Amino acid sequence: MDFSFPPEVEAFRTEVREFLAANLTDEMIAATHDGTIHAPELHAAMAARGWIAGPVPEELGGAGRSALESVVLNEEMQLAAAPVDAMAVSIVVASILLEHGSPHLKDSVVPRLLDGSALGCFGYSEPESGSDVAAAQTKAVRDGDEWVINGAKMWTTLAHISDYVILLTRTDPDVAKHKGLTFFLVPLDTPGIEIQPVPTMAVERSNATFYDDVRLGDEWRVGDVNGGWAVMKTALKYERGIAGGQFPSPTVIDAALDWAQTAERADGSRPIDDPTVREKLMRSLIDVEVCRGFAYHTASLAEEGVMFGVEGSMTKLFASESYKRHCREFQDMMGVDGLITHHNDDAHLGGRIEENLRHSPVTTIYGGTSEISRNLVAEGHLGLPRTR
Amino acid sequence: MRTRLTDDETAVKEVFDGFFANESPIAIVRAAEPQGHDSELWSKLAATGAPGMALPESVGGGGASLRDLAVVVESWGAHLAPVPLVEHAVATRFLHTCGSDIDSLVAGEQIATLALRDSVAGAARLVPAGAVADVVVARAGNDVVRLNEPGPGTGPRNTGDLPIADRELSSAETVGSADEWTRALDEWRALMSVAYCGLGRQALALGVDYVKDRIQFDVPVGTFQAIQHGLADAATKLEGAHLLAHRAVWALDTDQPDASRLAGMALLFGAETARFCTDRSLQYHGGYGFSEEYDIQLYHRRASAWLLQLGEPSLEYARLADDEIGPIGSSGEAA
């Protein structure tokens, strides 16, 4: 086995670090406190470098970067606490379109997603279907050359700043649920769409989106009619590498270390000299190294041309569950100061640990809950029987 | 970057999976209890060249890398083979580095081991493989000493049925310094983290096989999500432990700057993971898991025992923290 990066990937890592040092500002990170996890200037600067298009093959308009370079980009951005959500989702949407989209979508939409001039968001979940995503009830019905869409989607996060939503619809209600689904890419300025904010317990806002006689041409269809499940699999394949993040913890651990070294307890001692704090810090750093192993493993498999499956679920499960634990432990370490939010000027490092604590519960839910991940590992890796 | 075994490593794995399956089936493991050593198995293993495989060819070794040795160790761990492969290999590599005589050790005619905890007042307590080792390497103050003396053959009964024993070092001679010793301990840590992955994988496999066959409430218990999810958590940690363990070995093999850090981390995570795997697997066996008859208890006890040969795990975390953020009292400024 060999865990070294080729020199060109190491060079790329250096380039990313220098780019982030020059382009990512504290203001950009603080601006996400309005609820939208997106930094337009950073997104534009990355697009200008071809980094949004990074993993997409050159012949399809991308930069053709290797999987190892993609994981390094992802790692460095998360280590720097860069707001990556909109970028990550747009890359997934572009990747889905490149695999399943019509020539119209590949020509008119993908270039805009890749050059940073447009954003996309996900429209899978509904009020009555989350993990059971194939139970979607939003209807698409043919009417001459057009499709008419009616229904509602939940957790269309970023829809309020996006240009497109990739929408899972039911086109045949009379067959098994997986066999009657069709995907569309829907421009969000199409008449009949309403976007309502869904506030969350964290800083980020999500959305509910409503579709009332939304009319689309067939050129907006993605994949075959009633072939939506195949597209869904592609979507989840790309999303699992991203949702939950492989490296959500380091920014929290950095903050915890800073607190431990600078805070003074009532008895005059510092948390950093407390063996229980030191053990927690080391355990969290071990978890990060485990996440690194997973991230490099999936990238290495992709580089070899082996499409990973259950490894993506394991990565997501371990990274998000350990992140949630780290947030809990380090907020606890801060005691009452751990409660102070970013609204207060004296919050430690802009209230970073507190903010992550409130964000962390969603990471074991979105992009496939921990329970779904465990099902996939049990079935796909251990060969245990399907239970649902 | 290659996070799977290479073709050459796969070939090594196949040979030694076969060797341990044939020569160290679970009946041999049981028969070796409580002493925890099978001298006939050691002779057979020595005949394969495994004990000296990671020594230079110039001294009669196999010229293999630490990574190749790790592949053998993972198989050794999976089979709980009652022979001190890791201790012998690490101690012998250390002695070779020091220029100390290893003629009787390369081919495994004699068994070497290392005392993982510093000796006190000329004695090393509960040395791994101390009951059977002819050569004991131990740290004594700023020196590392070598004792040439046959082991007592038996030691105190213990949780893991391991051949641990106290060794008197009064007749030992100095062979090296504490600086070089760190590397030996890190090799032990990294290799044992790999061994723990082997143990964990086999323990998990026992559990998975059991829950597929065991019928309760008219169905295999493996159809219950509560059980599936516990096993899935174990499998996930195990995959993470495996990647970390082999990364640590690679880092030592190629002198990466974070090699020592990774070795320490890999051992702690590997041990915790193997213990989690044995815990889940034993639990899902129900009462049978607690019985002597079923094999999972053999894995459970060794998962508990291997790490403690090094001492208190909390001191391992403390050691890593000292390296990472400076010692207590430095407020992290020493790092």
DSSP line for A150-207: EEEEE--TTGGG-SEEEEEEES-TTS-GGGSEEEEEEETTSTTEEEEEEE-SSS-EEE
List, for residues A279-329, the tens digit of each pLDDT value.
Answer: 999 999 999 999 999 999 988 988 887 767 788 899 999 999 999 999 999
Check whether residue A115 and residue A223 sit in a common domain.
no
Q: Is B157 on the interface with A (CB under 8 A)?
A: no
**Residue A366 CB: number of other CB atoms within 10 A?**
18
Beta-carbon contacts of B245 under 8 Å, excluding residues fewer than 6 positions away, are B70, B190, B193, B194, B196, B197, B266, B270
Is there a domain that residue A161 lies in? yes
pLDDT higher than 80, residue A58: no
A2: which chain B residues are within 8 Å (Cβ-Cβ)? Answer: 1-2, 6, 250
- CB–CB of B112/B105 below 8 Å? yes
Q: Is B229 on the interface with A (CB under 8 A)?
A: yes
Check whether residue A215 and residue A228 sit in a common domain.
yes
Check whether residue A81 and residue A137 sit in a common domain.
no
Number of structural domains found in chain A: 3
List, for residues B252-296, the tens digit of each pLDDT value.
Answer: 999 999 999 999 999 999 999 999 999 999 999 999 999 999 999
Is there a domain that residue A388 lies in? no
Q: Which of A297, A377, A384 sits opposite B3 (nearest CB)?
A: A297
Is there a domain that residue A97 lies in? yes
Q: Across residues A220-224, what is the average pLDDT?
A: 98
Distance from CA of A361 to the nearest CA of B (A): 18
pLDDT higher than 70, residue B187: yes
Q: Is A260 on the interface with B (CB under 8 A)?
A: yes
Q: Is B58 on the interface with A (CB under 8 A)?
A: no
Q: Is A6 on the interface with B (CB under 8 A)?
A: yes
Check whether residue A282 and residue A328 sit in a common domain.
yes
**pLDDT category of residue A84 using cuts at 50, 70 and 90:** confident
- The β-bridge partners of A146 are A143, A217
pLDDT given at position B178: 87
**pLDDT category of residue A66 using cuts at 50, 70 and 90:** confident
Is there a domain that residue A385 lies in? no
Is there a domain that residue A104 lies in? yes
Q: Which residue has the tokens 């059991």?
A: B210
pLDDT higher than 90, residue A61: no
Give the pairing type, strands B112-114 and A221-222.
Answer: unpaired
What whole-number distance in Å separates Cα of residue B105 and Cα of residue A74? 48
pLDDT higher than 60, residue A243: no
Query: The domain containing residue A93 runs over which residues?
Result: 7-119
Record: contact A293-B265, CB cut-off 8 A:
no
Give φ, ψ of A304 to 5 degrees.
-80, -5
pLDDT given at position A242: 53
Q: Is A127 on the interface with B (CB under 8 A)?
A: no
Distance from CA of A325 to the nearest CA of B (A): 15
A299: which chain B residues are within 8 Å (Cβ-Cβ)? Answer: 1
Three-state DSSP at A59 gives helix
Query: Of A82, A98, A119, at which residue does a domain stop?
Result: A119
**Residue B291 CB: number of other CB atoms within 10 A?**
11
pLDDT given at position A246: 87
Give φ, ψ of A122 to 5 degrees.
-95, 140
Q: Is A264 on the interface with B (CB under 8 A)?
A: no
pLDDT higher than 60, residue B71: yes
pLDDT higher than 50, residue A355: yes
Is there a domain that residue A34 lies in? yes
Query: Of A119, A138, A172, at which residue does a domain stop?
Result: A119
**Residue A177 belongs to domain with CATH number:** 2.40.110.10
What whole-number distance in Å separates Cα of residue B104 and Cα of residue B227? 50
Peptide bond into B34 cis (omega under 30): yes
Question: Dmax of chain A from CA atoms?
Answer: 77
- CB–CB of B82/B74 below 8 Å? no
- What residues of chain A, 143 to 162, have a C-beta less than 8 Å from chain B? none
Check whether residue A50 and residue A154 sit in a common domain.
no
Record: contact B3-A5, CB cut-off 8 A:
no
Record: contact B236-A318, CB cut-off 8 A:
yes
Check whether residue A90 and residue A168 sit in a common domain.
no
Between chain A and chain B, the number of residue pairs with CB atoms below 8 A apart is 155
Q: Is B321 on the interface with A (CB under 8 A)?
A: yes
Q: Is B268 on the interface with A (CB under 8 A)?
A: yes
Give φ, ψ of A216 to 5 degrees.
-135, 150
Is there a domain that residue A82 lies in? yes
Q: Across residues A235-252, what is the average pLDDT?
A: 77
Q: Is B320 on the interface with A (CB under 8 A)?
A: yes
pLDDT higher than 50, residue B332: no
Check whether residue A272 and residue A212 sit in a common domain.
no
State the burial class of residue A140 (Cβ atoms within 10 Å of its Cβ: 0-12, 13-18, 19+). Answer: buried
Q: Is B262 on the interface with A (CB under 8 A)?
A: yes
Check whether residue A197 and residue A228 sit in a common domain.
yes
Name the average pLDDT for chain A.
93
pLDDT higher than 70, residue A176: yes
Distance from CA of B160 to the nearest CA of A (A): 25
Is there a domain that residue A301 lies in? yes
**pLDDT category of residue A59 using cuts at 50, 70 and 90:** low
A1: which chain B residues are within 8 Å (Cβ-Cβ)? Answer: 2-6, 9, 67, 246-247, 249-250
Determine what percent of chain B is predicted with pLDDT higher than 90.
97
Check whether residue A64 and residue A132 sit in a common domain.
no
B324: which chain A residues are within 8 Å (Cβ-Cβ)? Answer: 281-282, 285
**pLDDT category of residue A245 using cuts at 50, 70 and 90:** low
- CB–CB of A85/A158 below 8 Å? yes
Three-state DSSP at A11 gives helix
Q: Across residues B72-98, what is the average pLDDT?
A: 98
Check whether residue A86 and residue A195 sit in a common domain.
no
Domains of chain B: 181-325 (1.20.140.10)
Check whether residue A259 and residue A367 sit in a common domain.
yes
Q: Which of B104, B116, B111 is nearest to B82 (CA)?
A: B111
Tokens at A386, concatenated: 């399907």
**Residue A297 belongs to domain with CATH number:** 1.20.140.10
Residue B167 vs residues B35, B86, B117, B189: alpha-carbon distances, Å: 16, 19, 12, 21
Q: Across residues A223-243, what is the average pLDDT?
A: 84
Distance from CA of B162 to the nearest CA of A (A): 28
Q: ∠ CA B248-B254-B260 to the nearest 5 degrees?
A: 40
Check whether residue A183 and residue A110 sit in a common domain.
no
Q: Report the length, in residues, of chain A.
A: 388
Distance from CA of B65 to the nearest CA of A (A): 11
**pLDDT category of residue A86 using cuts at 50, 70 and 90:** confident
